Amino acid sequence: MSVNLPKVGEPLQYNYRYDLLNRIIGMQTIRNLNVATNNWTPVAVSDFGETVTYDP
């Protein structure tokens, strides 16, 4: 999922990872969108990373 709100800041893309039961187990955020070509040159944003674990 990508978000581009120019008044708030630069565009960000959120990459989610899921387990076999379709539960979210992680999220990584990247930045560095070239708005002229609509291409991402991924640079990880460590401020918004997330890892989730579940009880067995």
* DSSP per position, 15-39: EEEE-TTS-EEEEEEEEEEETTTTE
Is 17 contained in some domain?
A: yes
24 in any annotated domain: yes
Q: Report the C-alpha gap between 46 and 56 in whole angstroms.
A: 28
- 24: containing domain: 2-51
Please indicate, yes or no, if residue 9 is contained in any of the structural domains.
yes
Q: What integer pLDDT is reported at residue 45 of this predicted model?
A: 92
- The pLDDT, as a whole number, for residue 35 is 86
pLDDT, position 5? 87
- Does residue 38 belong to any structural domain of this protein? yes
Tens digits of per-residue pLDDT, 1-56?
888 888 888 999 999 999 999 999 999 999 999 989 999 999 999 888 899 999 87
pLDDT of residue 4: 86
Domain count of the fold of the chain: 1
Instruction: Look at residue 19 in the predicted model and tell me its pLDDT.
Output: 94
Does 56 reside within a domain?
no
